[in-house]
């Protein structure tokens, strides 16, 4: 079974040599060598381009992680704001009033 590209190229070379005959074997081999060299050059360019792109995509999450620090996350999502503190205070006051009203009703002051 053909395992990689160089095996395939060897088979193509043999086929070309057999089909071209005795006319210009040296020229055919020379052209085939140039073709194989160009193919390997393009293959290496493609590999380096692919690796460069993959490295760039790996750097994106790292840069995002650097931008978002734990302090920034706390300030943005966890730190209570002034308005939420005011709401909590208002709710606590309302709870206290309702407790007083409940106690008064339990004692039976007669007021409704």
Question: Is pLDDT of 1 > 50?
Answer: no
Say if CB 36 and CB 9 are below 8 A apart: yes
pLDDT of residue 98: 94
* pLDDT per position as a tens digit, 27-64: 777 887 888 889 889 989 999 998 888 887 776 676 66
Question: Is pLDDT of 3 > 60?
Answer: no
pLDDT of residue 69: 62
C-alpha 23/C-alpha 17 separation (Å) is: 10
For 80, the token pair is: 């209570």
Dihedral over alpha carbons 81, 87, 92, 97 (to 10 degrees): 160
- For the entire predicted model, the pTM comes to 0.38
The number of CA neighbours under 13 Å toward the Cβ of 19 is 6
Would you kindly state where each structural domain of the chain is located, as residue ranges? 5-79, 80-112
């Amino acid at each position: 079974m053909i395992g990689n590209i160089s095996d395939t190229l060897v088979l193509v070379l043999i086929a070309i040599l057999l089909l071209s005959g005795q006319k210009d074997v040296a020229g055919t081999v020379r052209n085939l060598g140039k073709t194989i060299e160009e193919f390997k050059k393009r293959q290496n360019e493609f590999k380096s381009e692919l690796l460069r792109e993959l490295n760039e995509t790996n750097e994106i999450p790292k840069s995002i992680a650097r931008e978002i620090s734990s302090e920034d996350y706390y300030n943005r999502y966890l730190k209570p704001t002034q308005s939420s503190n005011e709401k909590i205070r208002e709710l606590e006051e309302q709870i206290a009033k309702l407790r007083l009203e409940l106690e008064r009703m339990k004692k039976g002051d007669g007021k409704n």
